[in-house]
Amino acid sequence: MALRLLQQTDYITIAYDYGNDWLYANWHGDQNLETVQTGCGFMLDHLRAERCRKVLNDNREVTSMWADAAEWGGHEWFPAMTAGGLEYFAWVYSPNVYSRLSTDLTLQHTTRPIIVTFDDIDTAEAWLRQM
């Protein structure tokens, strides 16, 4: 992977993968409304700056429920990301059942872009490469 680090906090690391032409977001630890909204804001800024249309969203290290951000993500953030150029979003589930539930709740509020969930990162990357 030819990654260039764009942003790093205690709860998210964002990089640009020049080899695959996508934004890579790796979320860490416990998440809540504030961390999700702030991290998503960083992702939107970097998506626009890099002018990319794909995101690999990695939740494998997320350890908590963040369902209070689900409706906001579906109704506000994903439409903003779509307007910013996002077309394809590969979402790798957390092994934490409550984080998975939060992901599924977000998707219930989302119609665009094309979002596919995965249990492992290799399958997510393979799907995103073909888009």
> For 92-107, what is each residue's pLDDT tens digit?
999 999 999 999 999 9
* Angle, CA 19 vertex, CA 8 and CA 131 arms, to 5°: 100
- The mean per-residue pLDDT over the stretch 52-67 comes to 96
Task: Residue 68: count other Cβ atoms within 10 Å of its Cβ.
Answer: 14
Give 1's pLDDT tier (boundaries 50, 70, 90). low
Widest Cα–Cα separation across the chain: 35
Q: Which residues pair with 118 in a beta bridge?
A: 92
